[in-house]
Structure 1
């Protein structure tokens, strides 16, 4: 049986002096196989709690696995967000002080790429990997170091997590939607890896940094690979020294956990880790299913044309024909002297992925997010 270690990482403190801490679990492989190392975190957004249940199930299962590489797991990644309640609801998506999305506070400075390539143009692949990882970690350490201006609570949490993530080759950031089906945010270059998860729907994202954890951990390496290519050295992203892959794994709906479903999600992650050589347990294989994908530009939000009470009609994950209703809006204020029911449809076939959590919406509320121009992968 594999043993894990547990540490408590200090990420800040409250006005009362109470410490903000995050649990960190780690498995260390006994062998010297050159398998990719792994970092998995959950609950960066307060209401998105299913990932904690998935990490619980992974901790249970990994103790019985044949480990080929080190794995670090962090539940409750944001101790402020998961405790940010308003009545019975967990808010926790935005920093209540700054208003910034908790998952948009990670760091990448594009300006480090060109000087690094110039200084290491003829270095070996192994040297490039080691030195560039050290540079990324030094950048985070510099951010965390005391200076006269300081950093926000959210940045301090994000940078501490990012420091752990930069030490891994594979990063999985576990999230959920409001009311949602399972789906995967996947870098375009890593599309082939999407087939190893038991997730039917994949969003292929650009190789651009927008502040999220997945982008913060693969975009630096993508930018580095592109810069070397421009200088005449060709490396393949996802292989060798550039074997970095990062995904945002959307596990369903927020504000709830299901331990049985979490076990299936854990098995899905293990099938991916088996495919990547992180574990050597061939019983973990991806399920056969039809997998659909679209590019991020074709992952569209539908906003409510009016205020009212929404009856969400469209099933998640199934193609919805053009003209078929996604929802209907009840306007009781119009009953008796106007139209009380209004149907909402689109003029193209789509796959609904998630919808707003509440039935009560204002005009302009994001009702649905859907795949357009989708294809099988």
Structure 2
């Protein structure tokens, strides 16, 4: 099938050039749920674009009857961030104009919904489908205030203008997948929200980091957090509902790299997940992979105790036992003494989860993460 391709203008530069998004919409023969998938929200995290390219190729070879509902794909979803450079290095994690993290700017309806308890009480006798539609209508009505502000003569700052264009694409979705990478170098994993653990194995990634606390400003959080809040309110009233609404951030490999293994894992996991959700009708059924669900506080970060050069560091994915050497720090001094080699050992057992790209560190700078198991 041929996707519907649309272009959405984001902003006009002083040079007269326009910055835009391109959206690929695969619409099945049968109406159904909407899936929204984007990549490259942080400028250096490019691997998701290759995943989306493979998805476009795969879906283009399907018949309309093999898709229920809609699948929207947005590669290079932050062109402003993608084009940021510092010497040879891609940056784009922070907006160069105001310093804000591109993934901490999004609109969280829960923070604005002052009558959630009242709304939940008004829905207590409704079926889940009706409650979802009524709440979605409420979210979209509040969202109009954001759009109105954009149209005022005073307008809005660039981060708010950007979020309005991007979030407008997914507010009515059922499933959101935001593809990222480590800003450094990392294994492949996903973030998982509480009460959505049952779906995690279908993404076919070995590790899922469970959210415990979140402020709602990240893209995946801003989408799902209002629905989790409504579920909690309804549960207080004795109505235990899990809406079929999910949000995932896939962390695939390392920044500035197109790792073939990470691309393959991301692509296969998304296809399997969409099959599990009955969005795709394929010959092969979805399978549940083996996933390690790990609390977020089990990630232990190691920082350089002094300045120097990192050497003999354990590779990604290595299992370390408490007391094992994680890395050596070659430390120089200006005290008429020879350089010193310092062994840094693991405080607890776990796997090397994430490592810094730069092997030259000042005191207190990040070196690696250990994931306790």
TM-score (norm 2): 0.90
1:213 corresponds to 2:213: no
Residue 115 of structure 1, CA deviation:
4.1
The equivalent of 1:28 in structure 2 is 27
Q: Distance in 2 between matches of 1:268 and 1:234?
A: 29
Q: 1:152 to 1:286 in 2, by over 3 A?
A: farther
- The 8 Å contact of residues 356 and 367 in structure 1, kept in 2 or not, is answered as yes
User: Which of 106, 109, 114 is residue 117 of structure 2 equivalent to?
Assistant: 114
Residue 316 of structure 1, CA deviation:
2.2
Alignment gaps of 5+ in structure 2: none
Residue 230 of structure 1, CA deviation:
1.5
The equivalent of 2:4 in structure 1 is 5
User: Which of 193, 196, 199 is residue 190 of structure 1 equivalent to?
Assistant: 196
Matched length: 364
Q: Distance in 2 between matches of 1:305 and 1:224?
A: 45
Q: 1:343 to 1:120 in 2, by over 3 A?
A: same
Q: Structure 2 matches for 1:1-377, cutoff 5 A?
A: 2-32=1-31, 34=32, 36-65=33-62, 66-110=66-110, 111-112=112-113, 113-145=116-148, 146-147=151-152, 150-177=155-182, 178-206=184-212, 208-235=214-241, 237=242, 242-258=243-259, 261-283=262-284, 285-286=286-287, 291-311=291-311, 313-333=313-333, 337-338=337-338, 340-372=340-372, 374=373
- The 8 Å contact of residues 53 and 258 in structure 1, kept in 2 or not, is answered as no
Q: Show structure 1 runs of 4+ deviating over 6 A.
A: none
Q: Distance in 2 between matches of 1:253 and 1:284?
A: 30
SS state at 2:108 partner? coil
- The 8 Å contact of residues 197 and 286 in structure 1, kept in 2 or not, is answered as no
SS state at 2:98 partner? coil
Residue 129 of structure 1, CA deviation:
1.1
Residue 148 of structure 1, CA deviation:
5.7
Q: Distance in 1 between matches of 2:287 and 2:339?
A: 49
**Higher alpha-carbon deviation: 113-122 or 150-159:** 113-122
TM-score (norm 1): 0.90
Q: 1:259 to 1:319 in 2, by over 3 A?
A: closer
Per-residue CA distance 1:86-128 (angstroms, 9 max, x = gap):
1111110011122111001111133412343244443332222
SS state at 2:204 partner? coil
Q: Alpha carbon RMSD of aligned pairs, Å?
A: 2.2
- The 8 Å contact of residues 205 and 295 in structure 1, kept in 2 or not, is answered as yes
Residue 207 of structure 1, CA deviation:
6.1
Q: 1:115 to 1:312 in 2, by over 3 A?
A: farther
**Higher alpha-carbon deviation: 80-89 or 106-115:** 106-115
Per-residue CA distance 1:205-227 (angstroms, 9 max, x = gap):
12643311111111110001111
Residue 156 of structure 1, CA deviation:
1.9
Q: 1:282 to 1:351 in 2, by over 3 A?
A: farther
Q: Distance in 1 between matches of 2:285 and 2:131?
A: 33
Alignment gaps of 5+ in structure 1: none
Q: 1:244 to 1:346 in 2, by over 3 A?
A: same
- The 8 Å contact of residues 306 and 363 in structure 1, kept in 2 or not, is answered as yes
Q: Distance in 2 between matches of 1:200 and 1:257?
A: 19
- The 8 Å contact of residues 188 and 262 in structure 2, kept in 1 or not, is answered as no
Q: Distance in 2 between matches of 1:149 and 1:226?
A: 38
SS state at 2:142 partner? helix
SS state at 1:26 partner? strand
